[in-house]
């Protein structure tokens, strides 16, 4: 289990990231713990991802309804949309997880995605649904460890 940010991280990262929610799930018979941290400042997708990676995590990526609800709890708390760890692939325009695997769980808002490959990132609305969006907008950062 990961029980907090490593002490080796600089204090700025510690200030920016706050523990908000924990979610546990059973995966392939192995018990995994997920810890979500949120930055109250809004940044673009690249900056959000870099912040999470600096903290040795990644952008929160819901793999099922329970994880989507956990991330939604943070989105609702701050009442701000958040980028998810999902992006359109360069090959066929299919949405993929950051590791390149095609997304197998989705919660698209009605008539989404509709960006026709011009909106390459995914944001979560404050009702838990998803929207494809440009990557240069300022959104809440939620990291998963």
Domain of residue 136, CATH code? 3.10.100.10
Q: How far apart are CA 14 and CA 22, in angstroms?
A: 17
* Residue 46 covered by a domain: yes
CA distances to 82, 85, 109 from 95, in Å = 17, 10, 15
List pLDDT tens digits, range 106-121: 999 999 999 888 899 9
In this prediction the pTM is 0.76
Q: Is residue 1 part of a domain?
A: no
Contacts of residue 25, Cβ cutoff 8 Å, sequence gap at least 6? 32, 34, 64, 66, 67
The tokens describing 15, both together, are 């200030």
- pLDDT band at residue 143, thresholds of 50, 70 and 90? confident
In a domain, 48, yes or no: yes
Q: Which two tokens stand for residue 129?
A: 């649904």
Which residues span the domain enclosing 80? 11-23+33-144
């Amino acid at each position: 289990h990961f029980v907090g940010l490593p002490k080796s991280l600089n204090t700025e990262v510690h200030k920016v990231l706050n523990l908000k929610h924990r979610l546990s799930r059973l995966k392939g018979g192995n018990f995994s713990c997920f810890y979500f941290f949120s930055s109250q400042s809004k940044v673009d997708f690249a900056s959000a991802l870099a912040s999470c990676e600096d903290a040795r995590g990644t952008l929160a990526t819901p793999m099922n309804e329970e994880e989507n609800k956990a991330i939604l709890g943070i989105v609702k708390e701050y009442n701000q949309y958040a980028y998810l760890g999902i992006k359109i692939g360069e090959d066929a325009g299919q949405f993929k997880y950051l590791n390149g695997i095609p997304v197998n769980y989705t919660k698209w808002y009605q008539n989404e995605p509709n960006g026709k490959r011009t909106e390459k990132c995914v944001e979560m609305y404050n009702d838990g649904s998803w929207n494809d969006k440009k990557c240069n907008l300022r959104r809440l950062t939620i990291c998963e460890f």
